[in-house]
Each structure stands twice: as C-alpha cells, then as structure tokens.
Amino acid sequence: MESQPPQCLEPVMPSDYLKLMDPPHLRGATMLLALGGWMDGGLVSTGTVRHMMGHRTARQIGRIDPDPFYIFNMPGSMEMAAVFRPPAKHLDGMIEGTVELPTNEFYCDAAANLVFFLGKEPHLRWQAFADGIFALAAAVGVARIIFIGSFGGAVPHTRQPRMYGSVSHSHLIPILQQHNVQLSAYEGPASFATLLLAQSPGHNIEMLSLVAEIPGYLEGLNPLSIEAVTRRLAHLLNAPADLDALRRASNAWEIRVSKAVEQDAELAATVRKLEEQYDNELISQSEAEPS
C-alpha cells in the first residue's frame, strides 16, 4: 500500500480573517501587544495591557477571527482537554451565555498615538497570524511594537521581578538599559512573540520585548509583576498609568501569599533560599558596577 503524503493546511490571507473597523490613520504609533497562553504567567501580559487601557477612551479597530489558529479538540485526559477546549457553563439544564472562543482584538487611543492588541498565542498558522498583526500595523501607522510577557523562574514573591528584554534593532538596546531591563540571553523553544520580533524589521517596524521573571511556585494573578512592568512602560512611553491602585493590590497580594507560604514549611524554606540568592545577586551586581 502506498504511503500517503502529509496533508498541508490551506494557505490563508489576512483578508480572510483580519477584520478592520474604521481604523484611524496615525503616524509613528506604538502598539502594546499582549498574548495569553505560554508567556502570560501571572496574567502579566494581558493584565498589563488591560491596565494600560483601563483609564483611556480606546475603541476597537479590528480583530483576528479565531477559527484558523487554534486547536479545540485535542484528545486526552480531562486536564488536557481543559487546556484546549473553550469553557462552557450549564445551570439547570440550560447553557449560560455562549461558548467562549479565543478573542484577538485591536483597540486604539488615537489621542495618545497608542494601539493595543489583546489576544491569545496561536496554536496553528503562526505566519498567517503574524501577517494579520503586521497588516493592521501598516494600515494604522504603527512604527513600534512592544510585547509584554512573563515566565516562571526563581524570583521570590517578596522581591521585585527581574526584567529581561530583546529588540529587533540594535539601536533600541539603550532603551532597555535605561529602564533597568537585562538583555536576554535565552536559548530554547520560541514563542510567537519571538517570531514577530524576528520579522518586524522586514515590515519597517521596531519591536521590543519586555519579559518579567515571576515566582515559579505560584499560579494566578500576579499584581506585583503587573505593577513592575506597567511602571516601566509608563516611563518608556511617557504615558500616565494608575500605579497607586496597582501598589495597593500588590501589597495585599504579597501579604496574602506570604501567609499561605508560611503554612507550608517546605515552601517557606524554599522561599527563604530564593530570597537569599536574589539578595546576593544584587550585592554582586552592585560591587561589579564602576564607582
């Protein structure tokens, strides 16, 4: 029996799935880009961009339809299915609301020359999804994209998250250094944001990636890391942000997490070790700096 050739996905064009909604024509705009999924631990990516949008009059200017880009029916355990299948809720035999498919939406605050993208990292057709983002950027007049992300690491919840950054053009490196962002030396599996970073020069767009290292032993919303990234963005963009509300949320979160950690002797010992390592690293960096 002859072997069958592998099936290929049909190509799609941005016009097939990118829907524009009377986009404005800006000049030199900045897009803040958030992606749920792999690099959204602590909801730092989506939470930061939502907070930057929170006090603005931002209107929706486009969306990317989800159908070509996500796997919904991955076979396996219930735990595996929960990762891919959209959530649904039933009450007394009736479904409440609708089945929530992933959303990928663009918003704009024209007065501030800012565009926002809130979406989910695609499972499939990375190139087509990237083409959609670049197509909207070209239509609106975006000159720079800033991606916000996070990853679980060795930072304790009682310390500020370490910040790492990457750039599409070497002349952007001083911007990271001025805002106390370490230059990334990561080597490993790429994220979708890395694809955008690699391709943005071909679209005449500058791109920066700001990634926070957050406590790897925690799950759920991390307001301390959202505050740290928002603070840097506010300075980088010279744009106002409600940092007081984030500071209150961060203080309450740290107290709540610390109480929970102290109930687990093994975890408490791990956190104290991480604190010592973190502080020793800061001392070493301070001693290495020229006086």
Domain ranges of the chain: 14-69+104-288
Q: Name the pairing type of β-strands 142-153 and 29-36.
A: parallel
Contact present, 60 and 46 (Cβ < 8 Å): no
In the three-class reduction of DSSP (H, G, I as helix; E, B as strand; rest coil), residue 287 is classed as helix
Residue 52 burial (CB count, 10 A): 27
pLDDT score at 70: 93
Q: For residue 254, give Cα distances in angstroms to 151, 237, 250, 261.
A: 19, 28, 6, 10
pLDDT higher than 50, residue 3? no
Burial category of 66 from C-beta neighbours within 10 Å (exposed 0-12, middle 13-18, buried 19 and up): middle
CATH class assigned to 14-69+104-288: alpha beta
Tokens 């969306």 appear where?
63
Average pLDDT over residues 104-111: 97
Residue 278 burial (CB count, 10 A): 16
Query: What's the pTM?
Result: 0.90
Query: Which range (1-10, 132-141, 151-160) has the least confidence?
Result: 1-10
Q: What's the CA gap between 246 and 145, in Å, rounded? A: 24
Average pLDDT over residues 158-164: 95
Q: For residue 147, give Cα distances in angstroms to 10, 115, 207, 288.
A: 29, 12, 8, 30
Average pLDDT over residues 256-281: 95
Express as a percent the part of the chain with pLDDT over 90.
75
Query: Which range (38-52, 75-89, 186-200, 257-271) has the least confidence?
Result: 75-89
Question: What digits encode the pLDDT tens for the residues 183-209?
Answer: 999 999 999 999 999 999 999 999 999
pLDDT higher than 60, residue 233? yes
Mean pLDDT of the chain: 91
Reading the block at residue 77, the tokens are 């355990």
Average pLDDT over residues 42-71: 94
pLDDT score at 290: 62
Q: What's the CA gap between 285 and 182, in Å, rounded? A: 12
Helices (H), 123-242: 126-140, 173-178, 192-199, 223-237
Reading the block at residue 226, the tokens are 């959202």
pLDDT score at 284: 78
pLDDT score at 9: 59
Query: Which range (167-171, 177-181, 206-210) has the least confidence?
Result: 177-181
Backbone φ, ψ for residue 231 (5° rounding): -60, -45
pLDDT higher than 80, residue 4? no
